[in-house]
Amino acid sequence: MSTLIIGGGLSGLALAERLQAKGADYMLVEARDRFGGRILTEHYGEEYFDLGPAWFWPGQPRIAAMIKRLGLEKFDQFSEGQLIYEDEAGRVQRGVGYASMAGSWRLEGGLDALTGVLAGRVPDTRKRLNAKVVSLTRGKVGITAELATGERLFARQVVLALPPRLAAELRFTPSLPEATVRAMRGIPTWMAGQAKAIAIYNTPFWREEGLSGDAMSRVGPMVEIHDASPTDGSSFALFGFIGVAPEHRQDMGTLRYQLMRQLVRLFGEKAAEPVSLLIKDWAFDQHTSTLADKAPLYAHPVYGLPRAMAELWGGTLLFGGTEVAARFGGFIEGALESAESVINTLEHMVAGRENVD
């Protein structure tokens, strides 16, 4: 094959869809048993709840154009009402501000409505699940990828559409330069250290009390909460980022108890009995997080493709994924930005070979 894409998240899927439209020779492989990567939408009945990324914003042209092209619908994040603040002493204050997510968008059906359409546009003969790559070997005219099963795939070029820290765990023959490996390991995997919780309710009692669903807490376990309700009004939800360090949140029973206590402190007794409480801890997802990613991030990392990670193996080993996007790194827009960059690079490579021929 011409191109092997390793990683079936948004970036890998977007790249595969573009290559399919161009009639290119490629294969997309994903280690998980599903496509989507860090995009993970859980369904409760007919409703949808994003446990990975959930929002996108005006000024992000690629995701907006893709949603329109695929016939999907976005909607405004609910933002009417007051914000709740819980200080270090556990004092709960209402009316200290307004929804911090005002102006952001979400996708009807959840973000896996997007990745599901993209995956559907890639023929079964061009995509594989449960296909974990463990090593890459450069030959005279291409690269051989070995799967965990021992199977080997050959391609002219390989795109690593996965977090650089995960890519650094592959075996490379010949070994990558020390500066390259150091750069790969130094790029934090966006969202990898996070855990997220969604409490689902039959009624939006917080809205009825003039609250937006937004809350900020210095006590926790959730440090930030937002309304996560779908659009049709049959179920409602509160979504929270869990701020407890990964090593202190492994007891799921204790964590659930603390989450419920906090929701009651902030939103009152009506919050005590959700119809479901969903939790996803990305720090312990082997296909997302490494040991280094369990360290907390206190600010949005500076992303982009380091010089040490460019032009590897004669330009045949490429990086995709949101962590190498120059402008929108760490956002879903960044995943599309990096896929676009890879497509441009591959087109130049093909043009160059044709000129040589």
Q: Which H or E element spans position 71?
A: none
Q: What is the pLDDT, as a whole number, of residue 115?
A: 98
pLDDT at 47 over 80: yes
Q: Residue range 326-343: average pLDDT?
A: 97
Residues 21 and 121 in one domain: yes
Q: Give, in order, the Cα–Cα distances in Å from 110 to each of 30, 36, 114, 198, 304.
A: 21, 12, 8, 14, 27
Question: What is the domain range of residue 213?
Answer: 76-106+193-284
34 vs 31, 40, 137, 161, 283, CA distance in Å? Answer: 8, 10, 26, 15, 18
Judged against a pLDDT cut of 50, whether residue 329 lies above it is answered with yes
Task: List residues bridging with 6 in a β-sheet.
Answer: 29, 160
CA R_g for the chain: 22
Regarding whether 119 and 28 lie in a shared domain, the answer is yes
Shared-domain flag, residues 84 and 210: yes
Pick 320 or 351 by higher pLDDT. Answer: 320
Residue 237 lies in a domain: yes
CB neighbours of residue 327 within 10 Å = 11
Question: Of 75, 70, 316, 53, which Cα lies nearest the Cα of 192?
Answer: 53
Is residue 263 classed as helix, strand or coil in its secondary structure? helix
pLDDT of residue 356: 46
Q: What is the CATH number of the domain that holds 153?
A: 3.50.50.60
Mean pLDDT, rounded, for 308-331: 97
Could you tell me if 185 and 122 lie in one domain?
yes
**Whether residue 174 sits in one domain with residue 199:** no
- Is 199 found in the same domain as 161? no
Domain of 248, CATH number, reads 3.90.660.10
Q: In the predicted model, is pLDDT for residue 110 greater than 90?
A: yes
CB atoms within 10 A of CB 252: 10
Structural domain count, the chain: 2
When pLDDT is averaged across residues 299-304 and rounded to a whole number, the result is: 91
Decide if 243 is inside a domain.
yes
Least confident of 38-52, 220-234, 337-351: 337-351
Whether 71 maps to a domain, the answer reads: no
